[in-house]
């Protein structure tokens, strides 16, 4: 029974890795759509969101199925529910990538990010990409070192977020109110993306070590 449960959990974990790869691809395209006003990238990122939702439902169904058939208790139960939390975090990350893609489309053919903050969003995109690669690696290799590094990336995202606000609130901001509002909301999407990635990382640590990471 226990071995069967382990193997079911491994199947769910593989689906999570696939889901994570899809989410990372969506975020990559959304960021590129944002920085280059690329309509194709934006539309592909949006189309991917449906795929992400489908992954969530598949994983959820499988989790219910495993619980119903194996009736795991104690730590096994926590393990399998942890995978459900991971799927929920990945689903939100996909939704945030879609929000970014929608912002890019809304201003198309103009670039949605004002010139004075474009470099900040470029860096945010790099950090988001790094987070995505690390959580995917952490999940696929059960690698808790990569998971621990996520906090540093999250700090980098927070720093970029603060920098964004100081540029927008600086006396030489001339891009106007609309560009500032766009930037503030986009900044929030990137920041939330990072938060959810860190959550995924904590869940990986729990899956691997059985020890939960307190905030």
Query: Nearer to a copy of itself by C-beta: 24 or 93?
Result: 93
Number of residues binding to a copy of itself, judged by CB under 8 A:
23
Please give the C-alpha separations between residue 60 and each of 5, 64, 88, 157, 211, in angstroms, as whole numbers. Answer: 16, 6, 9, 30, 23
180 binds a copy of itself (CB under 8 A): yes
Number of H helices, E strands in the chain: 6, 0
The nearer residue to a copy of itself, 77 or 145, going by C-beta atoms, is 77
Q: Is 185 in the site for a copy of itself (CB under 8 A)?
A: yes
CA atoms within 13 A on the CB side of 106: 12
Indicate whether 181 belongs to the interface with a copy of itself (CB under 8 A): yes
In whole angstroms, how far apart are CA 76 and each of 86, 210, 211? 16, 9, 12
Q: Which of these ranges, 124-132, 145-153, 182-190, 196-204, lies near a copy of itself under the rule CB under 8 A?
A: 182-190
Binding flag, residue 110, a copy of itself (CB under 8 A) = no
User: Which pair of structure tokens corresponds to residue 188?
Assistant: 């929030």
Instruction: For residues 204 and 208, give the distance between their C-alpha atoms in angstroms, rounded to a whole number.
Output: 6
CB-nearer residue toward a copy of itself: 34 or 84: 84
Site string for a copy of itself, 124-163 (x = CB under 8 A): ----------------------------------------
Binding residue for a copy of itself (CB under 8 A) from 47, 64, 162, 209?
64
Peptide bond into 137 cis (omega under 30): no
- With binding defined as CB under 8 A, does residue 37 bind a copy of itself? no
x/- track of binding to a copy of itself for residues 70-99 (CB under 8 A): -x-xx--xx--x--x---x-----------
Q: Give me the residues that bind a copy of itself (CB under 8 A), please.
A: 64, 67-68, 71, 73-74, 77-78, 81, 84, 88, 165, 168-169, 173, 176-178, 180-181, 184-185, 188
């Amino acid at each position: 029974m226990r071995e069967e449960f382990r193997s079911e959990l491994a199947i769910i974990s593989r689906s999570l890795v696939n889901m994570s790869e899809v989410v990372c691809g969506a975020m990559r395209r959304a960021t590129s759509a944002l920085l280059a006003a690329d309509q194709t990238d934006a539309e592909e990122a949006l189309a991917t969101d449906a795929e992400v939702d489908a992954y969530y439902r598949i994983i959820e169904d499988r989790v219910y199925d495993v619980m119903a058939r194996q009736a795991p208790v104690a730590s096994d139960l926590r393990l399998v529910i942890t995978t459900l939390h991971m799927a929920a975090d990945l689903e939100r990350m996909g939704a945030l990538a879609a929000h970014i893609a929608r912002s890019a489309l809304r201003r198309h053919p103009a670039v949605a990010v004002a010139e004075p903050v474009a470099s900040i969003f470029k860096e945010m995109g790099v950090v988001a990409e790094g987070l995505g690669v690390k959580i995917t690696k952490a999940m696929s290799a059960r690698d808790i070192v990569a998971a621990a590094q996520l906090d540093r990336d999250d700090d980098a995202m927070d720093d970029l977020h603060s920098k964004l606000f100081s540029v927008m609130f600086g006396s030489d901001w001339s891009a106007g109110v609309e560009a500032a509002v766009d930037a503030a909301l986009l900044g929030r999407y990137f920041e939330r993306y990072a938060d959810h990635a860190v959550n995924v990382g904590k869940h990986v640590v729990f899956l691997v070590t059985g020890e939960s990471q307190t905030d």
